[in-house]
Structure 1
């Protein structure tokens, strides 16, 4: 199952609610991810303006997008970004294909 990184930033009101009622959000996040068909691998907070990062396994891009839409629609975040993660070994064929394709590319104006 491919992994995706979900970078998120909480709204100030969300941080205020977390301060008023501290608790581990992992079970709630895990339930949402699993309801969509994914697997929560880890959840981290950066404790700054950024917010945090969740690593999620999802069977396909549609599932990853579904999870992103659900958390964005909650209104608790100022920003949610979803990025597919590529295993280091899996980058080699991509680099090789890019190398082969680059030979025919001409930048604009050249």
Structure 2
């Protein structure tokens, strides 16, 4: 299975609801990813350009996309970005394959 890192921001309305009714959103996040056969490995809040971060594992990109689409369509988030994480071994394989591509820079 593949790992995915998501970064999200809540809307001001969502923060207001959470202040009025504090809720551990890890429970919801876990149920979303488990519904597609995946696992939630972590859920954190932070300071900066994003309010929170999740580390998910999903069977495939389509499964993770389904989770991200469902969450994004819910209206509680101002932004949601998900990055596919490659292992070092996958990156080494890609580097080796890149040697065979024969890329030519524009205009060269």
Give me the TM-score of the superposition, normalised by structure 2.
0.91
Relative distance call for 1:87 and 1:7 in structure 2 (3 A) is same
For residue 82 of structure 2, what is the aligned residue in structure 1? 82
Consecutive unaligned residues of structure 2, counting only runs of 5 or more, are none
User: Would you tell me which structure has more helix in proportion to its own residues?
Assistant: 1
- For residue 49 of structure 1, report the CA deviation from its aligned partner: 4.2
For residue 103 of structure 2, what is the aligned residue in structure 1? 105
Deviates more, 1:70-79 or 1:31-40: 31-40
RMSD between superposed Cα atoms in Å:
1.3
For residue 20 of structure 1, what is the aligned residue in structure 2? 20
- For residue 91 of structure 1, report the CA deviation from its aligned partner: 1.0
Q: Aligned with 1:100: secondary structure?
A: coil
Consecutive unaligned residues of structure 1, counting only runs of 5 or more, are none
**After TM superposition, what 4+ stretches of structure 1 lie above 4 angstroms from structure 2?**
none
Structure-2 separation of matches of 1:89 and 1:106? 26
Deviations 1:10-67 (A, max 9, x none): 1111111111112211111111111122111111111444111111110011101001
Structure-2 separation of matches of 1:35 and 1:45? 23
Aligned length: 108
Deviates more, 1:45-54 or 1:61-70: 45-54
